[in-house]
Amino acid sequence: MSLALGMVPVADGSDMGGSLRNPSAWNNVVGFRPSRGRVPAVPAEDIFFQQLATEGPMGRTVDDVARLLSTMAGWDDRAPLSLTASLPGADAADPIGCAPGKRVGWLGSIWSGLPLETGIVGMCEAALREFEQMGCSVEPCALEFSREQNWSTWLRLRQFLVGGKLGAIYANPQTRALMKPEAVWEVEHSLSLTGAQLYQASIARSSLYQAFRQLFTRFDYVVAPSAQVFPFDAALHWPSSVAGTAMDTYHRWMEIVTPFTLAGLPVVSMPVGFNESGLPMGMQIAGPAHSDLSVLAIARGYEQASGWPRRRPPMLDQLFGSAQR
């Protein structure tokens, strides 16, 4: 929120289940989850296992995001899985990816049964017309990987990581009493995981990566909504239902971000506008592994064509007036 209000120029954060992408969509700013290893994960005691979460930048423009990324990225010998390739500064957002002929695949809700609040798909589809104005082609596409397998893979790998990190806290009755129910749920489910289950989850994750790789033989980028719900009341613990569908876990309402996390792809959330209530939404633009600069490039082209980052929610214009732009 402080970034959206202009109180800070940029911000950074981590993203496992969309914690860079969801807040960006809900605050009309840009959030970038880089390729796994682009930003070194230090200090971290679980370096060789922790491959779902990654640090990344947020900003009000793609240029600002690119500048912060160039500062965050690079090899660090404390992080053996970090990437060695360096990134340029502001030029990282040069719109080289916006040349006519770029192919954009529209994933929609990714899976036909995935619930999204009314208006989200339509707002993203309207934003896709900006790509066509830029000379890109846009076609619907499908990810050849089942929703059930994606979610099962996500649950097991997340439970493994969260359970390992919080296991000692859970084991102490005094500190366990201070844990959130959701954290207790993760740890308790992790205790029943087997090595065979984790191995199969790793195999499935590799299959998901290959499914995306096949998509990228036809498309340069793929696009999906950044969130399944619009911003909700802060007093609400988490959405227990989406579009009339009950959520069976505390994080099921963020399911739409999980395949990009599991595949380790570079993905940026870009604003697409405001619904009738003035609430913001965004869309995810993803590219092949390690194509971070290309993803930022087309994001910058979209930003220039749409002008969305220069627009504010109607409620802020009413509060502060146009002079505060």
pLDDT bucket at 89, cuts 50 / 70 / 90? low
C-alpha distances out from residue 221 to 124, 130, 264, 285, Å: 15, 14, 14, 7
pLDDT at 91: 59
Digit-coded pLDDT (tens) for 257-272:
999 999 999 999 999 9
**Rounded Cα gap, residues 322 and 141, in angstroms:** 40
Contact by Cβ (8 Å): 270, 303: yes
pLDDT at 1: 77
pLDDT bucket at 116, cuts 50 / 70 / 90? very high
pLDDT at 97: 55
Which of the residue ranges 91-105, 148-162, 174-188, 292-306 would you say has the lowest mean pLDDT? 91-105
pLDDT over threshold 70, residue 315: no
Peptide bond into 280 cis (omega under 30): no
pLDDT at 84: 85
Please state the rounded mean pLDDT for residues 157-161. Answer: 96
Contact by Cβ (8 Å): 264, 213: no
- The CA radius of gyration of the chain, in Å to the nearest whole number, is 19
Contact by Cβ (8 Å): 272, 282: yes
pLDDT at 308: 76
Q: Could you tell me if residue 242 is inside a domain?
A: yes
Name 252's Cβ contacts closer than 8 Å, sequence gap at least 6.
151
Q: Could you tell me if residue 73 is inside a domain?
A: yes
Q: Could you tell me if residue 177 is inside a domain?
A: no
**Rounded Cα gap, residues 110 and 4, in angstroms:** 28
pLDDT at 44: 72
**Looking at residue 46, which CATH number applies to its domain?**
3.90.1300.10
Q: Which contacts qualify for 5-9: CB closer than 8 Å, 24 or more apart?
A: 5/316, 6/60, 6/324, 9/59, 9/60, 9/64
**Rounded Cα gap, residues 312 and 325, in angstroms:** 8
Across the chain, what does the average pLDDT equal? 91
pLDDT > 90: percent of the chain: 81
pLDDT at 193: 97
Is the backbone of residue 274 left (phi > 0), alpha (psi -120 to 50) or beta?
Answer: beta
Please state the rounded mean pLDDT for residues 10-22. Answer: 96
Question: pTM, whole model, 2 decimals?
Answer: 0.93
Q: Could you tell me if residue 173 is inside a domain?
A: no
Which of the residue ranges 68-77, 82-91, 192-201 would you say has the lowest mean pLDDT? 82-91
Q: Could you tell me if residue 238 is inside a domain?
A: yes
Q: Could you tell me if residue 208 is inside a domain?
A: no
Digit-coded pLDDT (tens) for 240-250:
999 999 999 99
pLDDT bucket at 318, cuts 50 / 70 / 90? low
Q: Could you tell me if residue 161 is inside a domain?
A: no
pLDDT over threshold 60, residue 322: no
Residue 85: count other Cβ atoms within 10 Å of its Cβ. 13
**DSSP-assigned states of every residue in 29-44:** -EEEEPPTTSS---S-
pLDDT bucket at 90, cuts 50 / 70 / 90? low
**Rounded Cα gap, residues 160 and 144, in angstroms:** 26
pLDDT at 325: 43
Question: How many domains would you assign to the chain?
Answer: 1
**Rounded Cα gap, residues 145 and 75, in angstroms:** 33
pLDDT at 317: 66
pLDDT bucket at 53, cuts 50 / 70 / 90? very high
pLDDT bucket at 294, cuts 50 / 70 / 90? very high
pLDDT at 324: 46
Digit-coded pLDDT (tens) for 181-222:
999 999 999 999 999 999 999 999 999 999 999 999 999 999
Q: Could you tell me if residue 187 is inside a domain?
A: no
Structural domain span for residue 81 = 10-141+218-324
